[in-house]
A and B are shown apart, each in its own frame.
Chain A
Amino acid sequence: MTHAEHTHSGHHEMPFWRKYIFSIDHKVIGLQYGITATFFLLFGFFLMILMRWQLAYPGVEIPFIGKALTETGALTPDLYNALGAMHGTIMIFLGVVPMAVGAFGNYLVPLQVGAQDMAFPKLNMMSYWVYFVGGVVMMSSFLMPGGAAASGWTSYPPLSVTANNAQTVWLLAMVFLITSSLLGSINTIVTAVQLRAKGLSFMRWPVHVWAQVATAFLLLLAFPPLEGAAVLQLVDRVFGSSFFLPSGLYIDGAKASVAGGGNPLLWQHLFWFLAHPEVYVLILPAVGVISEIISTNSRKPIYGYKTMVYSILFLGFMSFVVWAHHMFMTGMGVTLSSFFQATTMIISIPSVIILTTLLLTLWGASIRFTVPMLFALAFLPMFAIGGLTGLPLGLTASDIHLHDTYYVIGHFHYVVAPGTLFALMGGVYFWYPKITGRQMNQFLGKLHFWLSFVAINFVFMPMFLMGSKGVSRRLYDQTGYSHGAATQSWNVIMSTAAFVLLLAQIPFLYNMFTSWKWGKKVENDNPWEATTLEWAASSPPPHENFPTPVEVYREPYSYSPTSRKVRPQFSQQEA
């Protein structure tokens, strides 16, 4: 509050660069995050298009741009590995997390709790700029001699420690990105808890706020181990220590000159201790967004709000004790694997509950098939596929065959791409009128949805078939294997579908940019007739959001029982 009072006392027009570049307004920072993350998502997607060309037509020159990349015009194995590592890194750390947490969390959490801004606006600005620098450093690794980091987004030593210098740049960039997330997560927690409007008890938080707070705790608690691990790997690479290098390494035809005595598995434990909670960092904000959209567009409260909240919290907690299921093939014995299999089965339960509550919300609803609702509805079965296919990977016996195959790739992409990304796209359509005061074009939105929905399933569904056959992931060319050659036809289909998916984003981007200026103006501040606090602000909300403090009178998702009239949290009037 002190900040708000402080700026209120000296009302003056801020210069452009203070207002839009080095802004401390959470809405501007949220948009900065959103625009930057959109760029990275498209860039990461584009890298995958190059890789998918190679997978469909191994060794064939890439049309138009191939010659600019390599001498022959086709990807080299080196470049393929670099693109693969960078695709994963960019999509997760520079794309989806900044979009889900940086953009949606930043823009919506203060509005949804009725605050004027984040608790620490300058920290918020710093979080964005540290992320920005991390992104620039990460991209600069493409300019390194020998290309970008090529040891996978997981960067397992010894491969990563003995790789070329781009890996050092990767680690430095990661330190920036992690620091940015830590700054952001503290801000989210303090804002959501401390700056609540009068009457907004915890159990009146919208599900999205719960999801963002749970996510912020995951970031806060899980990222420091990875930051530590990244620094250790940096020290291994730069100063010749051996935290992750064992004795007796023999690399490239010579005894490696390393001190030895370390253990490569240490990295995996530290890495997955972050990277499993990270999965829930990717999925929980999406669940939050989906809940808002589904409730509003089905004119019903979330079925079992409390169950939903407890499931989100339980999911967050459990995500810290399942990490070693990524490591079943690293010589894990019976005791340890039994524990991690059991926790993995347990964590599937709250996930199923969340899905069930969302599905049950639809019973007795009055479903409006708006564009955001289409994305939210598609999220449900897509997320279900992603979640269900986690079961065979979470049990050691079935994991033996499926581990490190395309089955895994299919599994987590179903969670993150048609899962989280669809949710976030739906979120863009949903909150666009709040941000700009204008609606996005519905026809283009539907075109975008249906093309994406069909194409994305043709990209990822065949992966389960290929993985079941035993096709390993991260192969530059799978046709050398008999099972790879047999399933190669799928690659042609998947790559074509990936290209269609890329084209399907054109109406979305066009819609997003043109509607800003030419979209249909909304008639009031609450065009979807939603119930949560962000709709109490004008569209777009002014600096400091609410000219007069808002007050909360009831739980979210309260719709009038006798008519379809909405009873927002901020409205005093009873039904």
Chain B
Amino acid sequence: MMEQLSNAWKNVLDRKGFDYGLPIDISTHGAAIDRLITTLHYFMALLFIGWGIYLVYCLVRFRDREGHQADVSEKHFGVPKYLEMGIVIFEACLLVFFSYPVWAKLKTDFPDRANSLVVRVVAEQFAWNIHYPGRDGKFGKTSIDLIDGTNPVGLDREDADAKDDIVTINQLVVPVGKPVIVELSAKDVIHGFFLPVARVKHDAIPGMTFPLWFETKEVGEFQIACAQLCGVGHYKMMGQFLVKTPEDFEQWHLDEEKALTE
């Protein structure tokens, strides 16, 4: 046990396998989020250290000792008032200039569907089903009555729009540099669709469909995480999040299409 503990300390002090702070960011909108988080933490550190120095100073200077007396006269300090005002103004600035714009952009400024990859993500206990519309860009009809082990989203293959639809399980593949619009829903309970490296998170709530979007700027193999407690398999509800070059994505798409006709 002691050995495991000392190994653990060695790992965290050597920063083996990780560094402190935020994970890498491969999204175009993530920089604004990271900037806000970083700015906030500098602000918090400044306040905390300031308060800390003041506190320690008080504890030393005003400790109870022989010949020392408390000063109980009515005192009024001006500095705290300015400090409060400063905090208020700073928070208001963060709110108006950092947080509001990011949220407004993510919620209202959707990329053009024609130039984006539109996918449906259907969460279930305990997997992420990804539904691509295929070449025609149209999703085929789906129905709850058609859902079974081989057809997790209940796609009606008879439907003309469904012929070229691609459905993958636990594998979200996107081309780098192209906006992705996700239509997020869930079949059973609430899940949390979380792409840590792309600064994307949204609850998947049964009975509702939420649109969200992001755009990547780096290729690589990453993970989809579940952020919301969804039952006994919550901890292993992870998927692959693969960002490919446009050529590789095209090749992957062709392979999937070929698999459909076989």
**Measuring CB to CB, which residues of chain A are less than 8 angstroms from any residue of chain B?**
57, 77-78, 81, 150-152, 156, 158-159, 162, 246-253, 255-256, 263-265, 298-301, 303, 329-331, 333-334, 337-338, 341-342, 345, 348-349, 352-353, 355-356, 359-360, 362-369, 377, 380-381, 384-385, 388-389, 391-392, 395-398, 400-405, 462, 465, 468-470, 472-478, 480-483, 485-487, 489-493, 496, 559-561, 563-564
Q: Which of A256, A476, A481 contacts B238 (CB 8 A)?
A: A481
A403 touches B205 (CB 8 A): no
Complex contact B227–A404 (CB within 8 A): yes
Complex CA gap A364/B69 in Å reads 8
Question: Judging by beta carbons under 8 Å apart, are B87 and A298 in contact?
Answer: no
Query: Can you list 17 A-B pairs, Cβ within 8 angstroms, ordered by A?
Result: A77-B234, A162-B189, A248-B206, A250-B144, A331-B202, A362-B55, A362-B58, A362-B59, A362-B62, A364-B70, A391-B91, A395-B99, A398-B37, A400-B33, A401-B33, A404-B227, A468-B37
Q: Which of B70, B77, B206, B233 contacts A365 (CB 8 A)?
A: B70
Interface residue B40 (Cβ < 8 Å from any Cβ of A) = yes
A485 to B145, CA, bound (A): 39
Query: Once bound together, how far apart are the Cα atoms of A337 and B100, in whole Å?
Result: 9
Say whether, besides A77-B235, A485-B17, A401 and B69 are in contact (CB < 8 Å). Answer: no
A152 to B229, CA, bound (A): 7
Question: What 10 pairs between A and B have smallest CB-CB spacing?
Answer: A246-B207, A470-B196, A364-B71, A492-B8, A489-B11, A486-B18, A397-B102, A299-B70, A404-B227, A366-B70
Chain B residues lying within 8 Å of A462, measured Cβ to Cβ, are: 12
Q: How far is the CB of B107 from chain A (nearest CB, A)?
A: 5
Residues of B within 8 A of A252 (CB): 125, 188
Q: What is the chain B residue whose CB lies nearest that of A401? A: B199
Q: Give complex CA distance A93, B217 in Å.
A: 47
Known A397-B36, A397-B99, A561-B72; judge A384-B51 contact (CB<8 A). Answer: yes
Tell which of A78, A152, A366, A395 touches B62, judged by Cβ atoms closer than 8 Å. A366
**Within B1-47, which residues are at the interface with A (CB < 8 Å)?**
4-5, 7-9, 11-12, 16-18, 20-23, 32-34, 36-37, 40-41, 43-44, 47
Question: Once the chains bind, are A251 and B188 in contact (CB under 8 Å)?
Answer: yes
* Residues of the A chain whose Cβ atoms lie less than 8 Å from the Cβ of B233: 77
* Cβ–Cβ contact B190 & A480, under 8 A: no
Is there an interface contact between A472 and B51, defined as CB atoms closer than 8 Å? no
Chain B residues 79 to 115 lying within 8 A of chain A, measured CB to CB, are 80, 83-84, 87-88, 91-92, 94-95, 98-100, 102-104, 106-108
What's the least CB distance linking A548 to chain B, in Å? 30
| Interface, chain B (partner A; CB < 8 A) | 4-5, 7-9, 11-12, 16-18, 20-23, 32-34, 36-37, 40-41, 43-44, 47-48, 51-52, 54-55, 58-59, 62-64, 68-73, 75, 77, 80, 83-84, 87-88, 91-92, 94-95, 98-100, 102-104, 106-108, 124-125, 144-145, 147, 149, 187-190, 192, 194, 196, 199-203, 205-208, 210, 223, 225-236, 238
Closest beta carbon of chain B to A546's beta carbon, Å: 28
**B33 partner residues in chain A, CB cutoff 8 A:** 397-398, 400-401
Residues of A contacting B94 in the complex (Cβ-Cβ under 8 angstroms) = 345, 395
Residues of chain A with a CB closer than 8 A to B98's CB: 395, 397
Contacts of B70 in A (CB 8 A): 298-300, 364-366, 559, 564
Q: A159-B229, A298-B70 are in contact. Are A359 and B62 (CB under 8 A)?
A: no
Interchain nearest-CB distance for A363 vs B (Å): 6
Known: A81-B229, A360-B80, A388-B47. A158 touches B40 (CB 8 A): no
CB distance from B70 to the nearest CB of A (A): 4
In the bound assembly, the distance between CA atoms of A401 and B41 in angstroms comes to: 14
Q: Please give the distance in Å from A283's CB to the nearest CB on chain B.
A: 18
* Residue of B whose beta carbon sits closest to that of A485: B17
User: Residue A81 contacts which of B68, B80, B88, B232 (CB distance < 8 angstroms)?
Assistant: B232
Q: Is the CB of B16 within 8 A of A156?
A: no
Whether B95 and A377, one on each chain, are in contact in the complex, defined by CB atoms closer than 8 angstroms, is: no
B37 & A342 in contact (Cβ 8 Å cutoff): no
> Whose C-beta in chain A lies nearest to the C-beta of B225?
A472
Nearest CB in chain A to that of B205: its residue: A264
Check B201 against A400 for contact (C-beta < 8 Å).
yes
Q: A377-B59, A474-B234, A483-B18 are in contact. Are A151 and B229 (CB under 8 A)?
A: yes
Instruction: Determine how close the nearest CB of chain A comes to the CB of B13; give it in whole angstroms.
Output: 9
Residues of A within 8 A of B103 (CB): 334, 337-338, 396-397
A405 to B199, CA, bound (A): 13
Do A345 and B92 form a contact, CB below 8 Å, given A151-B229, A480-B238? yes
Task: List residues of chain B with CB within 8 A of the CB of A251.
Answer: 125, 187-189
Q: Which residues of A contact B54 (CB under 8 A)?
A: 359
B16 touches A489 (CB 8 A): yes
Known: A348-B91, A356-B80. A264 touches B190 (CB 8 A): yes
Q: Is the CB of A381 within 8 A of B51?
A: yes
A264 pairs with B235, CB closer than 8 A: no
Are B199 and A353 interface neighbours, CB within 8 A? no
Report chain A residues within 8 Å CB of B9.
489, 493
**Cβ B87 vs Cβ A248 within 8 A:** no
Asked whether B40 lies within 8 Å of A159 as measured between CB atoms, the reply is no
The CA-CA distance from A402 to B36 in the complex, in Å, is 12
| B124 contacts A250, C-beta separation under 8 Å | yes
Give complex CA distance A564, B72 in Å: 10
Q: Are A330 and B189 in contact (CB under 8 A)?
A: no
Taking each of B21, B145, B196, which has the highest tally of chain A beta carbons within 10 Å of its own beta carbon?
B196
Q: With the chains together, A364 CA to B147 CA distance in Å?
A: 72
CA–CA, A174 and B32, complex, Å: 42
Q: Is the CB of B190 within 8 A of A159?
A: yes
Check B192 against A363 for contact (C-beta < 8 Å). no
Q: A366, B235: Cβ atoms under 8 Å?
A: no
Q: CA separation between A390 and B63, bound complex, in Å?
A: 32
Residues of B within 8 A of A78 (CB): 232
Question: Which residue in chain A gives the minimum CB-CB distance to B196?
Answer: A470
Which residues of A have CB within 8 Å of B238? 480-481
Residues of chain A with a CB closer than 8 A to B84's CB:
349, 352-353, 356
Q: Quick check: B22 and A364 within 8 Å, CB to CB?
A: no
Enumerate chain B residues within 8 angstroms of A405, measured Cβ to Cβ. 227
Question: In the assembled complex, how far is the CB of residue B195 from the closest CB belonging to chain A, in whole angstroms?
Answer: 9
Task: Note all chain A residues with C-beta closer than 8 A to B51.
Answer: 355, 359, 380-381, 384
* Contact B192–A493 (Cβ < 8 Å): no
Would you give the shortest CB distance from B179 to chain A, in whole angstroms? 17
A329 touches B40 (CB 8 A): no
**Residues of chain B within 8 A of A384, CB atoms compared:** 47-48, 51
Give the CA-CA distance A242 to B143 in the complex, in Å. Answer: 21
Contact in complex: A333, B107 (CB < 8 Å) = yes
Once the chains bind, are A469 and B23 in contact (CB under 8 Å)? yes
- With a CB–CB cut-off of 8 A, which chain A residues contact B52? 381
In the complex, A561→B102 CA distance in Å?
55
Q: Which residue of B lies closest to A342 (CB)?
A: B95
Give the docked Cα–Cα distance between A360 and B36 (Å): 30
Q: Which residue of A lies closest to B47 (CB)?
A: A388
Establish whether residues B99 and A334, one from each chain, have CB atoms under 8 Å apart when the complex forms: no
Residues of B within 8 A of A247 (CB): 207
Kindly identify which residue among B62, B144, B203, B230 contacts A363, using a CB–CB cutoff of 8 Å.
B62
**Quick one: which of A249, A255, A348, A564 contacts B206, CB cutoff 8 A?**
A249
Contacts of A492 in B (CB 8 A): 4-5, 7-8
Whether B207 pairs with A264 at a CB distance below 8 angstroms is: yes
Does A248 lie within 8 Å of B12, measured CB to CB? Answer: no
Cα(A563)–Cα(B72), bound, Å: 10
Using known A-B contacts A364-B75, A381-B52, A561-B72, determine if residue A493 contacts B8 with beta carbons closer than 8 Å. yes
Q: B106 contacts which chain A residues (CB < 8 A)? A: 400
